[in-house]
Amino acid sequence: MNVANSNLNPSPKLIKYSINHGSGFIQRKFNSSIAFSKFFQYSKFSGNKSLVKRVPFLNCFKRFDHTKTDEGVTGFPYLPNRIEELTHEQTLEGENIVLNPVVSPCAPYFTDSYSSIIKLYCDSTDPNYSQPWQMRKQIKSIGSAFVIKDKLILTNAHCVSWQNRCLVKKHGSTMKYPARLIEIGHECDLAVLTVDDDSFWEGIEPLEFGDVPNLHDNVTVVGYPTGGDNLCITSGVVSRVDVTTYCHSNFRLLCVQIDAAINSGNSGGPAIKDGKVIGVAFQAYDEAQNIGYIIPTCIISQFLKQIELFKKYTGFVTIGITYQLLTNPYLKSYLSLNNLPQNVNPSGILVCQYDKSLNGIIQTNDVILQINGHDVADDGTVHFRGVERVHLAYSLTNKFCGDECELLILRDNNLKKIKIRLGKPNYLVPEHQWDIMPRYYIYGGLVFIPLSMEYLKDEFGKKFYERAPNALLKPLSDIFAKEKGEEVVVLSQILASDLTIGYDFKNIRLVSVNDVKVLNLKHLEQMLMEVTKDSKYVKFQFEQDILVVLETSKVPEFEHQILEQHAISSHKSRII
């Protein structure tokens, strides 16, 4: 038995209490203590088979089922705050009993929707970017997911990346069903699957989405983390809403930080508030406890909308610039921001580099004052809600590839409105290459690859920025490619043979072949095919003026031997 408002002494005119009837706790009001006593004298309650016994002094009641009783409050047993929706009225011995709704933050609203929480079983094989002609060992992983409308299952992209097979199991079921991947979005770390077997969908109610939560909102995270086979529920509060880097893709999007534990296996599970999904659990902070992150519904909505409108995931967009903050007052004065009209906010960001697609539209040293009507602050933030501010990337969350974006800029002391076409910039080093097999080209034992973030991680570990040579880190700061199709071609290693005696180089950037600048890996292949026919020697020039020279007539002879020794099936990848 549980009683509401247990911090108050009982009134002789009105007594309130709650009883566990199995379907929930019911709050009833009696307009006399006599009716209150009579009700308990003749009642047994079947919710959990516990008996309520009257203590013959001051109408004090206790439950004899190991539940707590609030001390120091006469006549009121312990009460959890569970609420059920009850609207009808009953009478007992002439006394009016009003059944009122009551709430509980500790008991989830979505108990009936547990069947919508799905457990994922994935077998996946990742490529080896350091040895691009081979794959890694197959691994098994477990993740979480949940059912949404249209017979779709939503989860994280990193749960199903490079998957060979994916099985799903409903809560409370022992049956595993093969799932089919429909679409995957790596920037936002989301993926949708479906199950073709109709029997899987029996008894499942799709979960609905809510709004982005506010600070200090209570959140419940549901999923299948390591440590057990059954559903696991953790709870916490929203501690921060901000634009954060998604570690799966190195892309910056809006994110919600919570203090609920998110562990391995929780990924893809829903975060729930008031019975609605307000996010998807996807990453945690390794260097601190109880800091987890969820993908908010505005990002989920944009991902699903792209699939609905374009029948595929088209990606999240950026302006395609690098910029400097204008927090220094002397820099702002130098750029004449203090002389703007009164209706223009004197704050913004300074353009440093830009994608080649913006040539003739944006210039270096332009000051961006507004993005689609949103004032940009000196610290690179825009208004979010209330007094909250977030990174300017948020202002593009609901935009699609090809959409126009209007910028208010200050150029040479003149205000201008310009329009740019949003898309995906042509980065010199791609931010991620998920679902793209690594490319390579081997010539005389020299292994050439295009520089990528995946290669740096495989070769030097997660802290590659501390361990990789400066020659490979510098292109990361160059950001944008200057020419269409430009890549950083790297000599990753030299496979030993008599042809390459004396050459002991690795992880250096290729500049030219026979004094012709190398644009990308495909261009390198074309040049080497021509060199083999026309020249006695082939000269490779690398950064720091390092030279490697091979005799072209000897290359085919040694190359066959090298490939056989290292069990490499081909001297180049299927796609260059």
Cα–Cα distance for residue pair 454/505, rounded to 1 Å: 21
Q: Is 253:246 a contact under the CB 8 Å cutoff? A: yes
Given the residues 144, 158, 161, 248, the one annotated as active site: 158
CB-based burial label for 64 (10 Å; 0-12, 13-18, 19+): exposed
Please tell me what DSSP assigns to residue 480: B
Chain length of the chain: 576
Q: Which amino acid is at 377?
A: A
Q: Report the SS3 class of residue 158.
A: helix
Catalytic (active site) residue 158:
yes
**Is 458 within 8 Å of 128 (Cβ atoms)?**
yes
- Residue 74 to residues 17, 62, 77, 82, 145, Cα–Cα distance (Å): 13, 11, 8, 22, 48
Q: Which residues contact 259 (CB under 8 A, 6 or more apart)?
A: 236, 237, 239, 290, 291, 292
* 189 belongs to the catalytic site: yes
Q: Which of 116, 267, 452, 492 is catalytic?
A: 267
CA distance 62 to 373: 63
Q: Given 18, 130, 186, 189, which residue is catalytic?
A: 189
Q: Which of 149, 168, 421, 433 is CA-nearest to residue 304?
A: 149
CA 217 → CA 280, 392, 441, distances in Å? 16, 24, 53
442 strand-pairing partners: 447
Q: In the annotation, is 432 catalytic?
A: no
CB 259 within 8 A of CB 237: yes
Burial of residue 172 (CB within 10 Å: 0-12, 13-18, 19+) is exposed
By annotation, the residues acting in catalysis are: 158, 189, 267
